[in-house]
Amino acid sequence: MDIFDKYSLPAARHEKVLKAGTDPFGVRMEELYSATEARVDGKRTILVGTNNYLGLTYDPLCMEAAIEAIRVHGTGTTGSRIANGTYATHVALERALATFLDKRSAMVFPTGYQANLGILSGLAGANDVILLDADSHASIYDGCRLSGATLVRFRHNDPADLDKRLARLGGDDRCKLVVVEGIYSMLGDRAPLREFAEVKRSHGAYLLVDEAHSLGVLGDHGRGVAEEQGIEHEVDFVVGTFSKSLGAVGGFGASSHPKFDVLRYCSRPYMFTASASPSNVASVLAALREIERRPDLRRRLWANARALFDGVVAAGFEVCAEMSPVIALRMKDEETAIYAWNRLLERGVYVNLALPPGTPNGACLLRASVSAAHTPEQIAEVIARFGALAEDLAALERAAGARIPARL
């Protein structure tokens, strides 16, 4: 038996995808022109699937901050935070994040994935219970598993189901941690945090919110769904990433709990990995300042999201959630989704192809994410190309007995 035999099914599915056209899991950005355009397969392509919500990857202040940090601090720290890997800039970023989030303390991680691993496995242990939304990100599931806590899933965005499951635990004196996301990355729907907060409070539980896709996007100051819904004081722990609105790489955890900083020497993913590079830390610090001083970025983002949402709906596509910077279109089956994704790429539009088992309820999706950096002309062009795709799909439907071909 070969050690890779266990992957025979996903390998066979991948081969099927390859036969239909470009490999969606191996798309290469051959040259980047801006936050919203790149050369892909030799063609100038509008990027509508990067999660670069505020377009800050090409912000001049962020870029210059990163360049200057390399000149002053070098390319990397070569050490963990508990060894030689804590620079003054790491501490400055943590203070800036805590201030921005209106929390007592913040911890920075080299990736957003590690932030969930580190915070969740540090907060919960074998004698605790984690109740997590069934549609949670893979990093949340992995952090929960690493904690060794008892895991209880509740139905997606369903406070009543959470209440029922907490009630079943009865007088159990174990600590209970409820984990939800602000905006869910796959469909773009947002959590009813106010209702979740009421449930957690009534059962004496803690609440952790992953604001990865909502940081910089929602709220008067860009702090996320909790700020938008006015319940920040009810959120015990916040986690998030730098790889979306902040235009970099990394992640964080933040809290006002007076003992939160104990995780600095109790969370293994924080303790035993090299710290974030000085250039990355510097660009995130600059991006935070841009978010605070430029609310126009959020206004442009939402104007673009509204335009694209209305455009794809008018073209006849089924959207999966209310309007947000993540716009997911439901395809009728896997073959249609693969076909549609290839046709868009051929027309110079990059979106995400999302297939089971990595999607909620086995949905086959085209997933777009909008940026404040998209121009109105780019959004109009993307809508036009979606319109052409809709005509292709309709023509195939009209053809009696037609099957979705591998290529046009």
- Token pair for 120: 């969740």
The H or E element spanning position 131 is strand 129-133
C-alpha to C-alpha distance for 36 and 201, rounded to whole angstroms: 42
Written in H, E and C, the secondary structure of 324-390 is CCEEEEEECCHHHHHHHHHHHHHCCEECEEECCCCCHHHCEEEEEECCCCCCHHHHHHHHHHHHHHH
Of 261, 271, 298, 269, nearest to 139 (Cα)?
269
C-alpha to C-alpha distance for 88 and 68, rounded to whole angstroms: 15
Residue 366 near residue 341, CB atoms below 8 Å:
yes
Question: C-alpha dihedral over 52, 55, 56, 60, to 10 degrees?
Answer: 150
213 catalytic per annotation: yes
- Token pair for 203: 């059962």
The H or E element spanning position 116 is helix 112-123
Residues with Cβ within 8 Å of residue 207, at least 6 apart in sequence: 177, 178, 180, 196, 197, 200, 234, 235, 236, 237
Q: Which of 244, 255, 267, 369 is catalytic?
A: 244
Residue 288 CA: distances (Å) to CA of 53, 60, 62, 142, 330 = 13, 14, 9, 28, 34
What's the maximum distance between 2 C-alpha atoms anywhere in the chain? 68
User: What is the DSSP-derived secondary structure letter of residue 212?
Assistant: T
Q: Which of 185, 255, 275, 369 is catalytic?
A: 185
Q: Which of 90, 137, 176, 213 is catalytic?
A: 213
Tell me phi and psi for residue 205, to 5 degrees.
-95, 170
Instruction: Pinpoint the alpha helices (H) of 20-111.
Output: 60-73, 88-101
221 catalytic per annotation: no
Catalytic residue positions, numbered: 185, 213, 244
